[in-house]
Amino acid sequence: MLTKSIPYTFVHGGYFYFSRRVPADLCQHYSYHRVVQGLHTSSSQTATVQANIAAAKLDTYWSQSRLAKSEVIGMSLVREVSSDNAVVDLPSPHSDCPSLLDALEVYIDQKRKGPP
């Protein structure tokens, strides 16, 4: 029985518990269809804060799990994937285009010549 005033909680034996159903698309990752955890408090204010934090953490984790499963656009451009970052194979600049350093030198030269 969930409490009406505090989402994702119920009271059992005078203590609040967090309870949240696992989404259908992520059930294969869990051994049970519901996540239940004691909040170790009988205070409704403390339970509200802890339940909101737990719900936000679960939402974040579930979103990351869904993103990890999904097909990423542009995966054919990824050269090497490591745990920290992905290296993307960028096309090389054209030889007739100035580099950023060349543009910076021209800018500084123009600024030195006189008043703006």
Does 71 or 58 have the greater pLDDT score?
58
Give the DSSP letter of residue 43: -
Give domain status of residue 95, yes or no.
yes
Would you say residue 72 lies in a domain?
yes
Beta bridge partners of 16: 11
Let me know if residue 2 belongs to a domain. Answer: no
Between the alpha carbon of residue 2 and those of residues 6, 16, 88, 112, the distances in Å are 8, 10, 47, 72
Q: Is residue 53 part of a domain?
A: yes
- Say if pTM beats, i.e. exceeds, 0.75: no
Q: For the chain, how many structural domains are there in total?
A: 1
Q: Is the pLDDT of residue 34 over 60?
A: yes
What is the pLDDT, as a whole number, of residue 50? 95
Given this model, what pLDDT does residue 3 score? 53
- 4 within a domain of the structure (yes/no): no
Is 77's pLDDT higher than 90? no
Higher pLDDT, 87 or 109: 109
Place of tokens 């990890």: 68
The answer to whether residue 42 sits within a structural domain is yes
How far is the CA of 97 from the CAs of 101, 106, 107, 110, in angstroms? 12, 14, 16, 19
Highest mean pLDDT among 2-6, 20-24, 27-31: 20-24
Q: Considering the domain boundaries, does residue 3 fall inside one? A: no
- Evaluate if residue 20 carries a pLDDT over 90: yes
pLDDT at site 8: 93
CA gap 62, 40 in Å, rounded: 24
Residue 91 and residue 80 in contact, taking contact as beta carbons nearer than 8 Å: no
In which domain, by residue range, is 49 found?
9-112
Could you tell me if residue 1 is inside a domain? no
